[in-house]
Amino acid sequence: MIIEKIYNNNVVLVIDAESKKELVLTGCGIGFQKKVGQEVDQSKIEKKFITENDGLTKKITKIATEVDENIFNASSKIIEYAKQYLGSELDDYIYASLTDHISFVFKRYEQNIEIKNDLLYEIKRIHKKEFEVGKWAIEYINKEFNVKLPIDEAGFIAMHLVNANYKENTSESFLMTKIVKEILNIIRYYYSIEFEEDDFNYDRLVTHLKFFAKRLIKKEQVKDKDNELINVIKMQYKKAYDCACKIKQFIEQNHEYIVTEDELLYLTLHINRVISAIS
């Protein structure tokens, strides 16, 4: 692959010899001491972006020319760590969105502007793994750049990872977190309990609620399957079913989404499981 343009030490534009397509390549030091027309060192390639994806390519190249390359490099390291820790691939837009976010964080830091993350507590509880990566990222950035970013930023980074994992935009991810928070609060107040957040049943409940909230936002309703089990569940888990009905009422009144009987069934089962583990 021949280098066509060098954006900075970590980002270059190349021509692929086989496909003849332009590719944007990122990697630590991939453009260092290189010149246009030279072969790229393929061992330094961390990520390839095909220029057919115009939106992403434009963002990557714009960020590469405007953002300090050390920030770009730090962002890439955080993303690679996140992939390993989360055990999943992330949407490529994370390379643009996270780098842009971190760059903006530094600008705010220099101006002593600190933004509180109002959903920090919920992010810790609902997106545990992503938040752990966020904490690692803040510790890494603070050490690498000799700054003192607050823990709130770990929550913001976590939400970028949630976006990339579920392929949603930032506003949808925050709305999803808000909906899960609302439902957990209904369960907490109904039973007058505090969740055991290390319990596997709690993790299952939260995972279910995430996907429920995602369907709600997308208006992708689960169709009822004439499931007779709901009548058995009503009798067997009466209190959990009543709690699920309160959730249904709240959702339908506040989010313009009809909760089907199948969704009510699964909510009841998850609620009963997590409450049984506590009591």
pLDDT digits (tens, 9 = 90+) for 9-34: 888 888 777 777 777 888 878 888 88
Fold exhibited by the domain 2-53: Transcription Regulation, Sacy; Chain A (2.30.24)
The pTM for the full model equals 0.65
Which pLDDT score, from 0 to 100, does residue 51 have?
Answer: 59
pLDDT digits (tens, 9 = 90+) for 29-86: 888 888 888 888 888 887 777 655 566 777 777 777 788 888 988 998 999 999 999 9
Q: What band does 91 get if pLDDT is binned at 50, 70 and 90?
A: confident
- pLDDT of 266 strictly over 90: no
CA distance 94 to 165: 9
- β-bridge mates for residue 14, sequence order: 3, 23
Q: What is the CATH number that goes with domain 176-278?
A: 1.10.1790.10
For 29, left (φ over 0), alpha (ψ -120 to 50), or beta?
A: left
Domains 2-53 and 176-278 agree in fold: no
Which pLDDT score, from 0 to 100, does residue 21 have?
Answer: 74
CATH class of 69-167: mainly alpha
Q: What band does 3 get if pLDDT is binned at 50, 70 and 90?
A: confident
CA 250 vs CA 178, 218, 246, 255: distances in Å: 13, 18, 6, 8
DSSP-derived letter for residue 85 is: H
pLDDT digits (tens, 9 = 90+) for 116-158: 887 788 888 888 899 999 999 999 999 999 999 999 999 999 9
CA distance 170 to 160: 7
CA distance 149 to 105: 9
Give me the mean pLDDT over the 195-218 stretch.
82
The tally of CA atoms less than 13 A away on the side-chain side of residue 139 is 7
Q: What band does 182 get if pLDDT is binned at 50, 70 and 90?
A: very high
Which pLDDT score, from 0 to 100, does residue 149 have?
Answer: 94
Residue 254's nearest CA partner among 205, 182, 196, 150 is: 182
Q: How many residues comprise the chain?
A: 279
Tokens of 278: 């506590």
Give me the mean pLDDT over the 262-266 stretch.
86
- Report the percentage of the chain scoring pLDDT > 90: 29
Domain residue ranges of the chain, discontinuous segments joined by +? 2-53, 69-167, 176-278
Residue 163's nearest CA partner among 84, 52, 79 is: 79
Which pLDDT score, from 0 to 100, does residue 224 have?
Answer: 59
